[in-house]
Amino acid sequence: MQNCIYALLALTVFTMSSCEKVIDINLNNASKKYVIEGMLSDQSGSCKVLITTTRNFDEDNSFVGISGAQVTIADGTGPELSLVESSNGIYENKSITGIVGHTYNLKVIINGEQFTASSTIPEKVLFDTLFVNDEVIFGELIKLVNLRYPDPVGRGNSYRFIQYINGEKDKTIFIRNDDLNDGRIIETVLFSLNDDDDEEESKISKGDEVRIEMLCVDAAVYKYWFSLDQSALGTNESASPANPVTNITGGALGYFSAHTYQTDSLISP
Amino acid sequence: MLSKLALAFTILFLLFMVIPNLHAQEKYTVSGSVTSKRTGESLIGASVRVVDRNIGAISNEYGFFSITLSRGSYTIEITAVGLGKKTIEVELDKNIKLNVQLEEVDASLEEVTVIASKGRSLTSTQMGMEKLTIAETKNIPVLFGERDILKTIQLLPGIKSAGEGNSGFYVRGGAADQNLILLDEAPVYNASHLLGFFSTFNSDAIKDITVYKGGMPAQYAGRLSSVLDIKMNDGNNQDFNVSGGLGLISAKLNVEGPIQKDKSSFLISGRRTYVDAFLKLSNDTAAKNSRLYFYDLNAKVNYKLGDKDRLYLSGYFGRDKLGYDNQFGIDWGNGTGTLRWNHIFNSKLFSNTSLIFSNYDYEVSVRSDAIDFNIFSQIKDYNIKQEFQWFLNNRNSIRFGINSIYHTIRPGEVSSSENSSFGSLLLQRRYSWENGIYITNNWKATDRFNLTYGLRLTSFSILGNGDFYTLDDKGNAIDTTSYGKGTFVKTYVNPEPRIAASYQLNNSSSLKLSYVRNVQNLHLISNSTTSSPSDKWVASSNIIKPELSDQVSIGYYKNLFDNKYELTVETYYKDLQNQIDYRDGADVFTNDAIETQLLFGKGRAYGLEWLLKKTSGKFTGWLSYTLSKTERKINGINNNEWYNARQDRTHDVAIVASYALNKKWTFSANWIYYTGDAVTFPSGKYRVDEQVVYYYTERNGYRYPSYHRLDLGATLQLKKKKKFSSELVFSIFNAYGRENTYTIAFQDSETDPNKTEAVQTALFKFVPSVSYNFKF
């Protein structure tokens, strides 16, 4: 919602006059931090943990995986099951499949430092309709994905969507909760108000294959994506950029998300 | 606590009573009003001076003055900014009424000798105050040629702009919401149009502006950092007048005149932008159906009921309307209304009663097939004030009064149509009742020493109905208590002492000292780089404590070169308590328990301000320099360490100059320089979900590049006819095209996606404008 307002206001400003240029800023270097991305869904073979570190701003974007970590996941108070490093910094255990309603505990030990997180797979909600619709946004005809799903009664359901266009992942973070529409049949439009014109890959054209993943996530994971989207993407709307609110304790960046999974695709008309 | 305060009040009262007339002679009072002869407008702050005696008065906000003297004959001299002087002989053997009309000096006189702005009073205890008349702001070049008092005050020391072309401002390290902005006594909750690029004050309708940066008099309360007291014109009660202007982006029209000559008058003033007219030219139907404009409407009537009574009714209504096709829309605006009754009980006792209404609301609407909803939010006040000014004798003048405000806040109400996939949401309405009682005495202890001392007692009661929360130390709501309608949830009582002293060192210089405590119970929750209409007002609650500020300041004032120049140096230290900021990842939109999204801490601000002003002659203007620091310490932010507030700017310089070349041409220029804002930049980056995101280690640890720009202006007075006069105003904003930082964003490099880069956005470079103003 906020984004809509800002986009509208920003548009007003930029129509008045503005100019952009790349500038040099001397940014401090910070000591390296571990970044843990843990995910587990109700699909078999989905259990995966990626470990990397931060890099300085002026370095390139080759984020190297961290090897040699001890990674385990436990279903509630059940036994800790190990994840095995399948390639550099990627840890997997194909035999762990998430169960709706269960809480999973992740433990990562890297060079003696321990990080933990827990996440619960919420009730599974499935979308029943998926279609591409034409909308005119700011004078431009844009194709946008529409989804319909029934939100269960009771506030607290949270969703995350991931969009792939011809196999390319759209960088836009699509998250929804039911604060404003609890218990309704929800029709949502996945549109990104990126002010970057160069994001051609996030635009849908006729004949494109569009695939959508829908994840039902818990409140902490929703908060992670919400705060990441608001304050850590380097854009300029927030007066106080900050690291996203993580559910990992111990001082690492990243998240651990246990969620349900559904995917479907279509060819854009 | 309460009984102690009652005692303090009693003692204050007694103090006033025992200040005796030391020499019991026959005393008489000369009182009356000062008005402009041409327009009948009452003159605020006119100087009424007894010649050859160190006795004088300043007309109050309704033009009233009162001086008490021993029997005898006196010469009284009355002067006001921009007007001629008047000298009156009086034989004082009874109480005398003096209604003085000052004539406008004919501007066609060869030498311009009119005082452009009033010299600062050396004897008055008031410090941290700047006063501007609209005439003074007239020649200052501004963005798009839209004269704007809120932008003009930013050129004064201690008052900083909230950003490029922005009408928002920060005073002495305070936040933008800590300024009390009053229009004819009514608080204006959002004083900006269109992202803050324009203020809501149409300069055609404004008479006078006073900014208090410190040492606020006791009649003002409710915000920590400053008071901006704006008074609307009353309306000409002599002649009909129409004036107006056509500018780059807006048109204005002002009509005023007598209803009954000398007795009553009216004023209506309107302004509307017309950028949207260009949208209509677009081929695109969606653009054609878009809205992008704002308007302001000011209206006032006043009526003299007799010699002793006068009624004023004034109102303001303004709105912004932005919308794209019928898909999105947002509109917002303020409305205020003030009904005032002046009553003169006797030559020494002046009373004013005000009934005030103020409202701010915004509405967002989104319409498409399935997404269809409206968000509405509002803050509304009913306010009553009673004030007495008692001109006890020529050593003591006392002001006392009471004030009661009932606030209603509707934080957010979402409604939607039946087919919408959005439901309705009603965030709880919040009710509160704010009361104040104050008394203050201005004591002229000796010819050189003046003391103003007073006390204000403010109470703020949070009323039901509603749910109030108990939080754990992580900010999660662990318990809810429901209160019924009209019940008291919590009452905060805060004494606000106000003390100020001045000591005149010699004929041309003085020293002043003041201490003031301010309390703020309404807080604006904002997290955007620009002012957004949807920034949210919240009241103090059981968890949000009243913000407190204690400010001490010392100043030195000197008039130089025959009062042609004035020098002001002030320094201040301010201690702030119960300051508010967001938690990381806060969502304040859909949350009833907004306290769960907030953090609380303290702040400090200090600085040194220089102002050298040339107030008369062909060449006028000022040079202002501020050296300052403002910091916050809030647990949960910046590892609980002190950090710079965003508006912390070490150096701030403004040079404002205006030169009246001849009767036709006036040239003007200003140059502004300040240290870039304190901002948060990343100290690293990492990858999440296959994209690069940024890693932050400290709050506001970096700075934008320093800001500077030059604006130029010229006013051409066109041929004057008997009744008709007109002028052309030219200006260039940012004349040397400095690309000042508006924002800096971080992103993957466009040339090498394996790298990241910083991209600066700059707004306004060389913005020329021309506008045409007329009057008849």
A198 interfacial to chain B (CB closer than 8 Å): yes
CA–CA min distance A31, chain B (Å): 9
Intra-chain end-to-end CA distance of chain A, in Å: 28
A3 interfacial to chain B (CB closer than 8 Å): no
| Residue B364 within a domain | yes
Residue A15 has pLDDT above 60, yes or no: no
For residues A142 and A172, membership in a common domain is answered with: yes
Cβ A184–B327 below 8 Å, yes or no?
no
| Residue B595 within a domain | yes
CA B334 – CA B323 distance, rounded (Å): 18
For residues A254 and A241, membership in a common domain is answered with: yes
Minimum-distance CB partner of B322 among A12, A24, A136? A12
Residue B119 has pLDDT above 70, yes or no: no
CA–CA min distance A88, chain B (Å): 15
Minimum-distance CB partner of B414 among A62, A180, A184? A180
Between residues B194 and B185, the one the model is more confident about: B185
Minimum-distance CB partner of B532 among A9, A57, A228? A9
For residues A118 and A143, membership in a common domain is answered with: no
CA-nearest residue to A28 within chain B is B683
For residues A223 and A108, membership in a common domain is answered with: yes
Segment A168-182 mean pLDDT:
85
Strands A168-169, A158-165: pairing is antiparallel
Number of domains present in the structure of chain B: 2
pLDDT at B110: 36
Q: Which residues lie closer than 8 Å to A200 by C-beta, 6 or more apart? A: none
End-of-domain residue from the set B49, B78, B102 = B102
pLDDT at A202: 63
Cβ B421–A186 below 8 Å, yes or no?
yes
Rg of chain B taking only CA atoms, in angstroms: 27
Task: Give the residue among A249, A251, A258 at the shortest CA–CA distance from A217.
Answer: A258
pLDDT at B112: 37
Residue A187 has pLDDT above 90, yes or no: no
Minimum-distance CB partner of A5 among B364, B421, B696? B364
| Residue B549 within a domain | yes
Cβ B695–A243 below 8 Å, yes or no?
yes
| Residue B238 within a domain | yes
| Residue A234 within a domain | yes
A89 interfacial to chain B (CB closer than 8 Å): no
Residues on chain A touching B762 (C-beta within 8 angstroms): 18-21
Strands B547-560, B565-582: pairing is antiparallel
Minimum-distance CB partner of A19 among B194, B287, B762? B762
| Residue A130 within a domain | yes
A197 interfacial to chain B (CB closer than 8 Å): no
Intra-chain end-to-end CA distance of chain B, in Å: 60
Q: Which DSSP helix (H) or strand (E) runs through A22? A: strand A19-23
CA-nearest residue to B292 within chain A is A12
Residues on chain B touching A253 (C-beta within 8 angstroms): 686, 688, 695
Q: Left (φ > 0), alpha (ψ -120 to 50) or beta: where does A156 sit? A: left
What are A206-260's pLDDT values in tens digits?
A: 888 999 999 999 999 999 999 898 888 887 666 678 899 999 999 999 999 999 9
A199 interfacial to chain B (CB closer than 8 Å): no
Segment B758-767 mean pLDDT:
84
Query: 């030059």: which residue's tokens?
Result: B710
What are B220-232's pLDDT values in tens digits?
A: 999 999 999 999 9
Residues on chain A touching B753 (C-beta within 8 angstroms): 61
Burial class of residue A196 in the structure, from the number of CB atoms within 10 Å of its CB (0-12 exposed, 13-18 middle, 19+ buried): middle
For residues B454 and B314, membership in a common domain is answered with: yes
Residues on chain A touching B767 (C-beta within 8 angstroms): 17
pLDDT at A268: 86
Task: Give the residue among B409, B321, B402, B310 at the shortest CA–CA distance from B358.
Answer: B409
For residues B296 and B433, membership in a common domain is answered with: yes
pLDDT at B286: 64
For residues A131 and A257, membership in a common domain is answered with: no
Least confident interval from B126-135, B345-354, B382-391, B511-520: B126-135
Residue B315 has pLDDT above 70, yes or no: yes
pLDDT at B97: 86
End-of-domain residue from the set B48, B80, B102 = B102
Cβ B526–A189 below 8 Å, yes or no?
no
A229 interfacial to chain B (CB closer than 8 Å): no
| Residue A9 within a domain | no
Domain ranges, residue A162: 124-217
For residues A40, A46, A47 and A51, what is the CA-based torsion angle, rounded to 10 degrees? -100
Cβ B763–A16 below 8 Å, yes or no?
yes
Q: What is the 3-state secondary structure (H, E, C) of B256-284?
A: EEEEECCCEEEEEEEEEECCHHHHHCCCC
Which chain A residues in 120-179 lie under 8 Å from chain B, judged by CB atoms?
Answer: 133, 135-139, 146, 148, 169, 171, 173, 179
| Residue B372 within a domain | yes
For residues B96 and B234, membership in a common domain is answered with: no
User: How many A×B Cβ pairs under 8 Å?
Assistant: 242
Residues on chain A touching B363 (C-beta within 8 angstroms): none
End-of-domain residue from the set B64, B83, B102 = B102
**What percentage of chain B carries pLDDT values higher than 90?**
37
Confidence of residue B597 (pLDDT cuts 50, 70, 90): confident
Segment A191-199 mean pLDDT:
54
CA-nearest residue to B752 within chain A is A60
pLDDT at A200: 52
A21 interfacial to chain B (CB closer than 8 Å): yes
Domain ranges, residue B617: 230-775
pLDDT at B663: 83
For residues A141 and A89, membership in a common domain is answered with: no
Residues on chain B touching A238 (C-beta within 8 angstroms): 527-529
CA–CA min distance B758, chain A (Å): 6
| Residue B750 within a domain | yes
CATH number at residue B62: 2.60.40.1120
Count CA atoms within 13 Å of residue B212 on its CB side.
Answer: 25
For residues A116 and A223, membership in a common domain is answered with: yes
Cβ B364–A57 below 8 Å, yes or no?
no
| Residue A18 within a domain | no
Minimum-distance CB partner of A54 among B328, B422, B684? B684
| Residue A60 within a domain | yes
Between residues B276 and B141, the one the model is more confident about: B141
Q: What is the mean pLDDT of chain B?
A: 86
| Residue A90 within a domain | yes
Task: Return contacts of A21-26, CB within 8 angstroms, 24+ apart.
Answer: A21/B739, A21/B759, A21/B760, A21/B762, A22/B749, A22/B757, A22/B758, A22/B759, A22/B760, A23/B705, A23/B744, A23/B758, A23/B759, A23/B760, A24/B758, A25/B681, A25/B702, A25/B744, A25/B758
pLDDT at A1: 45
| Residue B12 within a domain | no
Confidence of residue B109 (pLDDT cuts 50, 70, 90): very low
| Residue A5 within a domain | no
User: ipTM score here?
Assistant: 0.91
Residue B732's Cα: distance from chain center in Å? 26
| Residue A23 within a domain | no
| Residue B162 within a domain | no
**What percentage of chain A carries pLDDT values higher than 90?**
49
Whether the ω angle into residue B465 lies within 30 degrees of 0, i.e. cis, is yes
Number of domains present in the structure of chain A: 2
